Amino acid sequence: MKFLKYMALIVIIYILIPYILIFFPKQGVNSNYKDRSICLYYDFLHTNIILKLDNKEKLRWKRLLPELLGGIRDFNYLEFGLGDKETYLTTKNWSDLKLLTAIKALFLNTSSVLHISYYYDINCSLLKQINLSNTQYKAVIDSILNSLGNRADFISKGYYGNDAFYRAIYTYNLLFTCNSWIVDILKDANVTVLYWSPFSYPLIESLE
C-alpha cells in the first residue's frame, strides 16, 4: 500500500509540475516581430511544429530529405513531430496505440524518430501561430536540424504519401517527450515558454 501511495504521489507531481510552470515561464523576447512565423499543431497528447518556407529553404530541404521531397515539384510547408520510434511506426491513429508500446515509450529509454510531412497549403489561423524575428526563425531551423544529427537518416515512408520518418538523436521517455522537444526548440529560439512540459496543453497555454 505504501508503494502504491508513493507511485500515486509521483504521478500527481508529474502531472501538476507543467501546469505550475505555466506561471513561471522562461522569458524570451517580445513576440511582436513580423519577420517570420511558425505554427504549432496540437491535440490532447501531441504537438507538431510547422514551418512556412521560402524558395531558398525549399531547395535546402529537398537536398536534405530526398526520400521525401526529391520528386515533389511544389510545397510550401514542412511539419515536424518527434516521437518514440515504435509508437510512430505502428500507430497511425491514437486508437491503434497498444498499451505495451506506450508503457515502453514512457518508462524505458527508447529510440526516437522525426515524422516529417510536406504540404502545399495550411491554414495556420486555425493553429497556434507564433511570430518570430529572422534570428529566432533561424534558431528554430537549427534546432530541428540538430535533432537529425550529422545527416538525415531515412527510416521509412509514412502513412499518407506526403510524409516520412527519419532517425532522431534523442532517447524518448517520461521526461523527454514530443512536447518537451517543442519546448526546447522554442527556448533555443528565445521564445517566452514554460521550462518543461511532457504535455501539449501546458505548452500551448504558456504561449498565450
Whole-number pLDDT of residue 160:
93
Whole-number pLDDT of residue 97:
77
Whole-number pLDDT of residue 101:
79
Place of cell 526520400: 67
Q: Is 92 helix (H, G, I), strand (E, B) or coil?
A: coil
Could you tell me which of 42, 46, 38 has the C-alpha nearest to residue 144?
Answer: 38
In terms of pTM, does the model score above 0.85? yes
Q: What is the pLDDT along the chain (208 residues), one digit of tens a residue?
A: 766 777 788 889 999 999 999 999 999 987 677 899 999 999 988 999 999 999 999 999 999 999 999 989 899 999 999 999 998 988 877 777 787 877 777 788 899 999 999 999 999 888 999 999 999 999 999 999 999 999 999 999 999 999 999 999 999 999 999 999 999 999 999 999 999 999 999 999 999 7
The edge-to-edge listing of strands for the beta sheet with 47-52 is 128-132, 36-42, 47-52, 77-84, 110-119, 163-172, 154-157
Q: How far is CA 15 from CA 10, 19, 48, 108, 208, in A?
A: 9, 7, 21, 19, 20
72 phi and psi angles, rounded to 5 deg = -90, 125
In this predicted model, what pLDDT tens digit does every residue of 63-94 receive, in sequence order? 999 999 998 989 999 999 999 999 898 887 77
